Amino acid sequence: MGSLADLHCHSTFSDGRLTPAELVDLAYRNGVRILSLTDHDIVDGLPEAFSAAERYADFTLIPGIEMSTDVPGNEVHILGHFIDWHNPTFLARLRRLQESRLNRARRMVERLVQLGKPISWERVQFFAGEGAVGRPHIALALVEAGHVTSVNEAFSLYLSRNGPAYVTRDRLGPEEVIAVLLEVGGLATLAHPRELLAAGNLESLLAVLKAAGLTGMEVYYKDYLPEEIDTFRDLASRHELIPLGGSDYHGLGGPQQKEPGDIPLPIEPVQKLLALARERGALERARIAHAR
C-alpha cells in the first residue's frame, strides 16, 4: 500500500544508497508527495534534496534529521522535522557528532582486524562517501572482503550492540537531543519503538520524553505488522503523541526493506504535524507543494 507521506528516509549523506536527488525522484515516482530526508546526525544532504524537490510542483519536502541517543541498555533514535538546519550552534554540534562517528568506526575496524576479520579503513571510507560514517559502511566492507554474506549477517555476527566488534560513541541522552531539536524549532518524534517495547521500558520512557517536548512517535514503520501498528497507535494516543511513520529507506536491500512510501501511514496525522509546525512558525522551513 502506498502512502502520500514518508517522514523517515536516508541518503548517501549517511548510510543510504541513493543520493538525495535520486531519493526525491524515487519517492515521487512511488506516489509520495510529502517527504522528509532524515539522515543520521547530518543535514548536509538537504540542499540537494531541496533543489531536486523543485522539479515537482506538487511535492512537499520537510527538512529532517535522525539523531542517535543512548539510554541504559538501549539505543533510542529521535527524528527531528522542520529543523532550522542553518543554525551555527546546531551545525557545530553535528560536526562533533561526525568526528565521534569517525573515531568510533576506526576503532571498530581495529577490533575486526584483531578478530581475524580484517577490512581496510579506506574501504569503509569509500562506502561512507561524503557523508556520516556508520556501521552499515563497515558491514559493506565486511561483505566485500568475503567475511560475511550480507549486511544483516555483519550486524548479527559482529556489529550489533552486543557484537564483538561493537564500540560505543559519544551520544546525548534522548531528552538532551529533544532539547537540541526544540532549540532549532524542530518537532521531535520517537523512531522505531519496537526494541524499546521489547525491552519493557517504553511506557516510562514515553512519559519522560513527552515531558521533554516529544510530539510524535513512529507507528507506521517499515515492517511493522498490523497488530504492532495497533499497539503503537494505542500507546501514541495514550501519551498524546502524533502517530507518524516512514519507510526508513536505506536502499541497501535486505528482507525488511520497504521503498519510500511503502507504509500504511494515513494522511491525517501528517496533517496534524504540518498544523503543529505552522503553529510554531516552523512550516516556512519546509518546501510546500505549490500546486493544489
Q: Which residues bind ligand AMP (CB under 6 A)?
A: 15, 40, 68, 134-136, 151-152, 155, 250
Judged by CB under 5 A, does residue 15 bind Zn ion? yes
Q: Which residues of 237-270 are buried (b: 16+ CB within 10 A; e: fewer)?
A: eebebbbbbbbbbbbbeeeeeebbbbbebeeebb
Sequence-ordered list of residues with C-beta below 8 angstroms from that of 246, at least 6 positions apart, any chain: 6, 7, 8, 9, 36, 38, 79, 218, 220, 221, 222, 263, 265
Within residues 123-142, the interface with Fe ion by CB under 5 A covers none
Cell numbers linked to 69: 541517543
Pick the stretch among 106-114, 178-186, 244-252, 271-279 that binds Fe ion (CB under 5 A): 244-252
Backbone angles phi, psi at 196, to 5 degrees: -70, -35
Pick what 180 binds: ligand AMP, Zn ion, Fe ion, none; C-beta below 5 to 8 Å, kind-dependent.
none
Which of Fe ion, ligand AMP, Zn ion, none has residue 185 at its interface (CB below 5 to 8 Å by kind)? none
- Site pattern 6..25 for Fe ion (x: CB under 5 A): --------------------
Residue 66 CB, nearest distance to Zn ion (Å)? Answer: 7
User: Any idea which residue has 502524533 for its cell?
Assistant: 242
> Among residues 73 and 88, whose Cβ is nearest to ligand AMP?
73
Interatomic CA distance for residues 23 and 37, integer angstroms: 9
Can you give the binding site for Zn ion, defined by CB under 5 A?
15
The binding site for Fe ion (CB under 5 A) comprises 66, 77, 191, 248
